[in-house]
Structure 1
Amino acid sequence: MPYEIQVDPEFRIGFIAAFDYVTGQDLVLACKSLIEDASWEAGFDEVWDLSAATAVDISPDELERLAASAREHADRIGENRVACVTTRDSMAAILRLLERLTPGLRRTYRVARTRQEAADWLGVPLPPAGAPPPS
């Protein structure tokens, strides 16, 4: 899964755009990259744009690993909101499961159909849609 990460300290937001075939393990690695970015601070909101993904395949074990990673890095993530940009109805169910697997974290998840819908919910501008990074 190639992906782009941008962190905007002015608007307190981290943005990940994923391309091609996406697995749960890919999401774990992308999250780790996001929170290790030098500009990231706990409490920044997150946008995960999966609209350019050809497939999103998250096994039950990978979902648990994603939840475990969020619990492990809870101090680095902080209280925040997470918008997932996708047209896949299954992502709403996955986010509800993720929320149930991380009850101690103070996070709010929402599926947005477009980047603009995510931007409106978060009240921040988002980077424009772009082509995937070169492989």
Structure 2
Amino acid sequence: MPDKETAVFAAGRYGLIQPRRTVTAKVIVELGLALVDDPGWRPGFTEVWDLRFAPVVDLVPADVPTMLDLERRTKEALAGSATLIVTAKPLIFYSVKFYARLARPFGREVTGLETAAEAAAALGVDVLPDLHPRP
């Protein structure tokens, strides 16, 4: 079975995005749309971006319009949804706080978390799944 980068866990009321490649604005749009287009996704589910496995997050200020466009495109699908972004990288964590301010006018709450354990606790699950398990 090929690795997946998105999955919806309807019983837990969340969707998980777990890229293993360089994360650019284009990748964020691709994966964000893939999650909300998943047949199991429902507005009000929590959106979780787990960036722990991404080798690089390459976003620049010029990407802000692309990110805001994604917010507009997914506004209905993400209505009532919170977003958790997991990263232990301090610069990315700081950027998440900036993004949270940009997303707030769209009625979205974005929270940065430094560990998978924090994300699991926020979701009320024992452990954040690994979409790329290795034997």
TM-score past 0.5 threshold: yes
Aligned residue runs from structure 1 range 2-13, under 5 A: 4-13=5-14
Shift in CA distance, 132/20, structure 1 to aligned 2, threshold 3 Å: farther
Provide the residue aligned with 1:92 in structure 2: 93
Between structures 1 and 2, the one with greater strand share? 1
* Residues 80 and 106, structure 1, Cα contact 8 Å, conserved in 2: no
* Structure 1 residues 54-93: aligned runs within 5 Å: 54-93=55-94
With the length of structure 2 as denominator, give the TM-score of the two structures.
0.84
- Aligned-CA RMSD value: 2.1
- Asked if structure 1 preserves the Cα contact closer than 8 Å seen for 2:120 and 2:128, the reply is no
Contact 1:8 1:14 in 2 (8 A): yes
- Provide the C-alpha distance between the structure 1 equivalents of 2:64 and 2:94, rounded to a whole number of angstroms: 11
Count of matched residue pairs: 132
Give the CA deviation at 1:130. 5.2
| 2:100 partner amino acid | E
Contact 1:19 1:132 (C-alpha < 8 Å) held by counterparts = no
Distance in 2, matches of 1:116 and 1:80, equals 20
Unaligned runs of 5+ in 1: none
Residue in 2 aligned with 1:23?
24
For residues 20 and 36 of structure 2, what CA distance do their matches in structure 1 show? 19
Taking only the aligned residue pairs, the percentage that are identical comes to: 28
Paired with 1:71 and 1:92, the residues of 2 have a C-alpha distance of 23
**Cα deviations by residue, 1:6-31 (Å, 9 ceiling, x for unpaired):** 10111110001111211121011100
In 1, the alpha carbon distance for the partners of 2:6 and 2:44 equals 17
Matched residue, 1:124: 125
Paired AA for residue 25 in structure 1: K
SS at match of 1:94: helix
Give the structure-1-normalised TM-score: 0.84
Name the structure 2 match of 1:34. 35
1: CA distance between counterparts of 2:131 and 2:37?
23
Structure 2 unaligned blocks of 5 or more: none
Q: 2:125 & 2:83 partners in 1: Cα distance? A: 13
Mapped partners of 2:70, 2:41: distance in 1: 17
